[in-house]
């Protein structure tokens, strides 16, 4: 029973974290256009698109880990 309770707690924590990161992603991109996403502040600084790609990539990887299924897209 203890292992089941811990498993449920871990899954609940992961779900809450995924909802939080997705919410942050949605908030961040709600007012961005292509110029904002590709903007490079200065040489050696990656554009926001780099971070956005990795956020989406980690959401997809986490989804596959939790569900055992590949995303439909």
- Asked if residue 62 belongs to a domain, the reply is yes
Give the residue numbers spanning the domain of 23.
2-67
pTM to 2 decimals?
0.67
Judged on CB neighbours under 10 Å (0-12, 13-18, 19+), 61 is: exposed
pLDDT digits (tens, 9 = 90+) for 38-66: 999 999 999 999 999 998 898 888 888 87
* Residue 55 belongs to a domain: yes
What's the chain's length in residues?
73
Planar angle of CA 10, 16, 55, nearest 5 degrees:
105
Q: Where are the alpha helices (DSSP H) in the chain?
A: 2-29, 34-38, 48-67
**pLDDT tens-digit profile of 6-31?**
788 888 898 898 899 889 999 989 99
pLDDT the model gives residue 32: 92
In a domain, 72, yes or no: no
Total domain count, the chain: 1
């Amino acid at each position: 029973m203890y292992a089941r309770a811990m498993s449920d707690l871990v899954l609940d924590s992961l779900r809450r974290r995924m909802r939080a990161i997705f919410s942050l992603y949605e908030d961040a991109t709600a007012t961005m256009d292509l110029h904002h996403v590709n903007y490079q502040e200065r040489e050696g600084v990656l554009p926001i698109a780099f971070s956005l790609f990795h956020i989406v990539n980690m959401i997809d990887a986490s989804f596959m880990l939790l569900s055992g299924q590949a995303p439909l897209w």
